[in-house]
């Protein structure tokens, strides 16, 4: 005669149940996506406004920032113009056609931004963009 199964006792399945593991991984992925910052790392500057702007952000984009004191930063690290030139020449040797964006504070002297643009021209970088903010209104 066959044995009768008792109520409430279940036979354990063999193997690992991966459903809770996948759930936890998906939650971690969502948290990572929400907390990652997709903007260009750098110094907070007050950007001048333009009526139309184009996004130039790419994974290998180099960001040059000129703050309101005239200090130049390359990807959030302060550099002199000579250091900037050396680093950009090194990057150009590795990646010949990488984009560069220039972020200048609205209060900075225009001559300082022109010095940076002149340096980019001497290095022969062709993909250069100026970052502006959107006009409110």
Q: What is the pLDDT of residues 40-95, one digit of tens each?
A: 556 677 777 766 666 554 457 888 888 888 889 988 889 999 998 999 899 888 88
Question: Between helices 81-94 and 110-123, what is the axis angle to 10°?
Answer: 30
Q: What is the pLDDT of residues 109-130, one digit of tens each?
A: 788 888 888 998 998 888 888 8
Per-residue pLDDT, 86? 92
Residue 1 has pLDDT above 60, yes or no: no
Strands (E), 53-114: 62-66, 72-74, 77-79, 100-104
Domains in the chain (CATH in brackets) are 49-134 (3.30.420.270)
């Amino acid at each position: 005669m066959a044995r009768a199964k008792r109520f409430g006792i279940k036979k354990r399945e063999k193997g690992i149940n991966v459903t809770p593991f996948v759930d936890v991984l998906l939650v971690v992925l969502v948290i990572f996506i929400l907390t990652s910052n997709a903007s260009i790392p750098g110094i907070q500057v007050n950007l001048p406004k333009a009526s139309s702007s184009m996004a130039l952000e790419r994974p290998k984009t180099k960001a040059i920032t000129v703050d309101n004191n005239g200090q130049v930063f390359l990807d959030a690290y302060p550099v002199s113009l000579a250091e900037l030139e050396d680093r950009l020449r090194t990057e150009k040797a590795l990646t010949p056609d990488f984009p560069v964006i220039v972020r200048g504070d609205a209060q900075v002297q225009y001559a300082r931004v022109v010095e940076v643009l002149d340096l980019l021209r001497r290095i022969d970088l062709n993909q250069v963009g100026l970052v502006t903010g959107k006009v409110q209104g």
